[in-house]
Structure 1
Amino acid sequence: MVYYRLAGESEENHLLMKEIDRQNLIDPTAGSRRMYKYLRKQTGKRIGRKRVRRLMRLMGIEAIYPRKRTTIPGGPSGIFPYKLKGLSIVRPNQVWCADITFIPMHRGYMYLFSVMDWYSRKVLSWELSNSLETEFCLKALKRALQKYGAPEIMNTDQGCQFTSDEWIKCLQDNCIDISMDGRGRWIDNVIIERFWRTIKYEDIYLKSYENGVELERGISAFIERYNMLRPHESLGDATPEEIYSEKLAIAA
């Protein structure tokens, strides 16, 4: 069940947030300095950088770019090293990935969290929320664990939801190895990033859902098609469900 209350932003800001979301998919390296210039060109309005920076923070969007760093701290800091580099992912439930994305509606917005199986691209669990708190991520994670068992590795970014004590404890209690993207390395979690682009361009942007109830129904229907019916070129035109259930092998 989704409990939705209208986000407290003006109609103009909601439109700007939709455009920021689109531009972020096109150019994830754009920070507020570049983003406000994009928006000025798109809208023809004198939109200020401070306003764009505030909206990007509200949306949970930041520019992706390499940062100077010499080490990735472990354990106590809540940050874990990236463990997929050079790893051959050859079976379902070997690696799961998870992430959160901003979802615009006709009026207002919500956040979508999803857990995916890396090998098959199957969406294992998802949840909507109107805030970026950890609770809705944990709810979806626990549902996936209950239904599918535990993966060997879980990969996420370094967002506060995934470095929280509650999230890490849940993974460790289920003997799951924790992997995190390098800072500014969206490519490290590329499987779920591709899914965000797919669901937004093939469903969210086209339908412009009116409210949270309609959005939940629409996402549920899309993910059902995505898992069960939609052929994936990267899977040799099989569906994620066929690969996950090992009814078919990924074509070489």
Structure 2
Amino acid sequence: MKPYTITTIDSDFSEEYKNILDEQFNPDFPDAVWCTDITYIWTYEGFVYLTSIMDLYSRKIISWVLSDTLETKWVVEAVNKAKKVRNVSKPLILHSDRGRQYTAKDYADATSGMTLSYSKKAYPWDNACIESFHSLLKREWINRFKITDYNHAYKLIFKYIEAFYNTVRIHSHCDYVSPNEYEKKYWIKLRQMEINVA
């Protein structure tokens, strides 16, 4: 079995799918811009696929789904989880590549009301932040292990995202605090401004 797999299966590259984000990776507040992507993880029982959704304000992974297929339903599940976790119906922009999962009708239904943005063809830099996260996940953690199966992969990903990346790992973008702490500082500052105005 080859040690890699293709997760982006090209769809229609018409002008319908525009790059609204245009590499503007630093929104001023949470839930302004989310980005999403799929990466593969090799196990001894075959590939599994991680769909992640990141809030670009804090670089926090707000939703993730691990699956054993590339069906659109797993991307839809990740979107629905993100909306529930963040208690919002829509961010201003949701950015992805142009893979068929992100241009499918079910995805359009799940993201109704959102402004969808798409990377240019074969240009991963348009989605650099989520691409960078997936690289970090593999380099800092996943590549240390010989992963036996889906359950093993799930436990490793859960530990990295929920117990390290979002909560402990510092980011230069976040003034050298974790994504959770960076968002916490934002909400504290916002509440203080509201009190001062009142």
Same fold judged by TM-score > 0.5?
yes
Residues 1:229 and 2:168 aligned together: yes
Q: TM-score, normalised by structure 2?
A: 0.84
Which residues in structure 2 correspond to 1:159-174 (within 5 Å)? Answer: 159-172=99-112
2:39 is paired with a residue of what secondary structure?
strand
Which residues in structure 2 correspond to 1:50-199 (within 5 Å)? Answer: 56=5, 59-60=6-7, 72-74=14-16, 80-85=17-22, 87=24, 89-148=27-86, 149=88, 150-172=90-112, 175-199=113-137
Aligned residue pairs total: 182
Q: Measured at CA, do residues 218 and 99 of structure 1 come closer, stay the same or move farther in structure 2, by a change above 3 Å? A: same
- State the partner residue of 2:183: 244
The offset of 1:86, in angstroms, is: 6.7
The more displaced of 87-96 and 116-125 is 87-96
Q: TM-score, normalised by structure 1?
A: 0.67
* Aligned 8 A contact 2:68 2:150 in 1: no
* Aligned 8 A contact 2:8 2:100 in 1: no
Question: Where in structure 2 are there 5+ consecutive unaligned residues?
Answer: 190-198
Identity %: 29
The amino acid across from 1:226 in the alignment is Y
Larger radius of gyration: 1
CA distance in 1 between counterparts of 2:8 and 2:102 reads 16
* Aligned 8 A contact 2:95 2:119 in 1: yes
CA distance in 2 between counterparts of 1:99 and 1:82 reads 15
CA distance in 2 between counterparts of 1:243 and 1:101 reads 26
Structure with higher RCO (Cα < 8 A, 6+ apart)? 2
2:51 is paired with a residue of what secondary structure?
strand
Q: Measured at CA, do residues 164 and 61 of structure 1 come closer, stay the same or move farther in structure 2, by a change above 3 Å? A: closer
The offset of 1:237, in angstroms, is: 0.9
The amino acid across from 1:229 in the alignment is V
CA distance in 2 between counterparts of 1:248 and 1:109 reads 42
CA distance in 1 between counterparts of 2:131 and 2:149 reads 24
The offset of 1:248, in angstroms, is: 7.9
1:116 is paired with a residue of what secondary structure?
strand
Question: Where in structure 1 are there 5+ consecutive unaligned residues?
Answer: 1-12, 22-55, 63-70, 75-79
TM superposition outliers: structure 1 runs of 4+ over 4 Å? none
Aligned-residue RMSD, C-alpha: 2.1
Which residues in structure 2 correspond to 1:183-222 (within 5 Å)? Answer: 183-222=121-160
2:49 is paired with a residue of what secondary structure?
strand
The amino acid across from 1:83 in the alignment is I
1:161 is paired with a residue of what secondary structure?
helix
The amino acid across from 1:167 in the alignment is Y
Q: Measured at CA, do residues 178 and 100 of structure 1 come closer, stay the same or move farther in structure 2, by a change above 3 Å? A: same
CA distance in 2 between counterparts of 1:102 and 1:137 reads 14
